[in-house]
Amino acid sequence: MTLAAAPRRSPLDAVHRALGARLIPFAGYEMPVRYTSELEEHRAVRTGVGLFDLSHMGEVALRGPGALAFAGRALVSDPSQMEVGQAQYSMLCAEDGGVIDDLIVYRLADRYLLVCNAANREAVVDHLSGLAADGSDEVEITDESDSTALIAPQGPHAAELVGNLTDVDLDALRNYWSVAGEVAGIACLVARTGYTGEDGFELFCAATDAERLWESVHAAGQAFGLLPCGLASRDTLRLEAGMPLYGNEL
């Protein structure tokens, strides 16, 4: 008899439990599906601001002189058209055209960062490693998922909230662009991206800084009616916005 593997836990697991979140298995993790009700959380994002823990998502970095050429081979989009700081929605496909995963690719100063679905993280890394095995591109592939946390304030008041915690010029940060900076004194990649159809940000930081970043954003958000939000409201929000989910519409 084979024992099931223990679920992975977000670096914010203790925070979610203290907030009374209902936790469920999701993509190998135990993640909050809701804190209060999905309707309240959904409305908070549409009218104020909601805060999501997305630390289960995969982060895979491509580095080296051949990273651009390799990304161009691997992805359906054209990363050569991206400027430093820009993000693209893209897909990773098998040779027969089947979708391995849909993802966001960020062009950063020192690497390309692929943010993939948690359920497909191993498949993405395996596929990229297989492509790189022919040695035609000088590229280093690094799975940075376990050392990275990702939290996302989303909603019409997200910019005002994050603006109170950072010196980053958010007015100059366009949709699907990113910049390195500090939020609440914590080093982050600040990306104007999301999965809700609202304005918002995805804040990437070291997993060791996750609790401090969450608590700072959560506290500052009380003035805007912030609610912590789980996977259930994230699903209804992305459906309203017409955004596909791998395993459902893809």
The full set of domain ranges for the chain reads 8-57+146-240, 58-145
CATH 3.40.50.261 assigned to domain 8-57+146-240? The reply is no
Dig out the tokens for 206 from the structure: 């070291």
pLDDT of residue 69: 96
Low-confidence ranges of the chain (pLDDT < 50): 1
Beta bridge partners, 166, equal 183
Beta-carbon contacts of residue 106 (< 8 Å; ≥ 6 apart)? 85, 86, 87, 112, 113, 114, 115, 178, 189, 191
Report which secondary-structure segment, H or E, holds 227. Answer: strand 227-229
Rg (CA), the chain: 18
pLDDT of residue 243: 87
| Contact indicator for 173, 179 with CB cutoff of 8 Å | yes
d(CA 106, CA 72): 13
pTM of the model: 0.95
Beta bridge partners, 203, equal 151, 190
pLDDT of residue 5: 74
d(CA 53, CA 127): 27
For 58-145, CATH number? 3.30.70.1400
Beta bridge partners, 62, equal 112, 141
